[in-house]
Amino acid sequence: MSPARSPGSRVRRAGLAALLLGGLVALPAAADDAEALRHTMEGDRALKARRLTEAEGHYRAALTAEEGYLPARLGLGEALLAAGDSKAGIQELRRVLRDGEARAPAPAGFARCLAAARARLREVDPAYQEWHALKAGHVADLCALAERHKDRDPDLALRALERALAFDPDDERARGLLARLTRAGARTESLFDGRQVRDWDGGSGASWSVQDGVLVGTATDFATFVRAQTLAEGDFDVVVEARIEATHGENPFFAVLGAWTEEYRHTRFGLFRGAVVWHELHGQGTTDRRLGTLAGQLRPAVDPGRWNTWELRYRGAEVELRLNGRKVTHGPRPPERSRGYTGLLVQECTAHVRRVELIYR
């Protein structure tokens, strides 16, 4: 599709309206944010009615009130495209990605703005189309390489899949191959069946539920935990696929809890205020903080709003932590981590979890 858009061409009005008016954007508390939301909604109404100059004015007013308000930036890009200014519209959509990917984790609903901008750029931006096609081809080649060598050279296959997921963490083929390779020669036990979480400790509370096969944990203030009842011992891996759907305060925290023996005796590996963290808890008030790196500074950068695979590998005297198949760090395994349960933590955020497994080595 050509990036040039005439004033009479169609824009994705229904999708944008649903995004902006359907309750999926962050509901603001501050006065500037409230002004940004008001102008964004007015801009969306004007865009639907094809009052393009008025829509552009409202979106720019929203960005004056709150420069980083992604729904307004997305709307401005759509208004400019609809008015025939494809160059400026594409620039605004690219800025949605640049600004949004720099914020980790994104406020509630902003991840959907990123997804909408990516989809739109694939339609209207030839350079983005070319880049996306090259990336897809590279990922496909790496997956094919992994398929060919997974039996006779699993290390090469693993490296190929790690590179593929560095390009596209959401690629289902690469994720599936990596899961099969990880399970090869080991016994795997799924701790979440996609139907219920009531038999988990803490799973009967209001903070945890199952929706459309996904485990949903929500905490608007203090941390809340849930713990599976399966005890692992010896050498084992904890594998969790999760994404942060929304944040609800200044201290959002999602973590996978490994080798849990008591509430304050376990490993925590997750995201706290946009940083990937590793904590070893040895009792209440006694925490060994081993890692704290901003998600955007990792290579590849971590987008909390997309599905990410968290792995805690307990092997002998060592703990190794992996994110999306790539090693993040490792260190000594505390003696009390020789056994324990698997849990999840949410604080000031809503997290979606679709996979929780133990792999026995």
Determine, yes or no, domain membership for 104.
yes
Task: Give SS3 for 268.
Answer: strand
Q: Judging by beta carbons within 10 Å of its beta carbon (0-12, 13-18, 19+), is residue 60 exposed, middle or buried?
A: middle
Neighbours of 201 (CB within 10 A): 14
Overall average pLDDT of the 43-49 stretch: 95
Say what the pLDDT of residue 185 is.
Answer: 62
Q: What DSSP letter does each residue of 54-76 carry, written as one string?
A: HHHHHHHHHHHH-TT-HHHHHHH
- Say if residues 355 and 189 touch (Cβ distance below 8 Å): no
Pairwise CA distance, residues 225 & 229, whole Å: 13
- pTM of the prediction? 0.62
Instruction: Determine the pLDDT at residue 326.
Output: 85
Q: Which of 94, 124, 154 is the last residue of a domain?
A: 124
Same structural domain, 137 and 170 = yes
What is the domain range of residue 19? 13-124
pLDDT given at position 4: 38
* 270 inside domain: yes
Does residue 6 form part of some domain? Answer: no
| CATH code, domain carrying 90 | 1.25.40
The 10s digit of each residue's pLDDT in 282-291 is 988 888 888 7
Give the confidence band of 107 by pLDDT, cuts at 50, 70, 90. Answer: low
Task: Dump pLDDT digits (tens) for 223-232.
Answer: 999 999 999 9
Q: Indicate whether 9 pLDDT > 70.
A: no
Q: Identify the three-state secondary structure at position 5.
A: coil
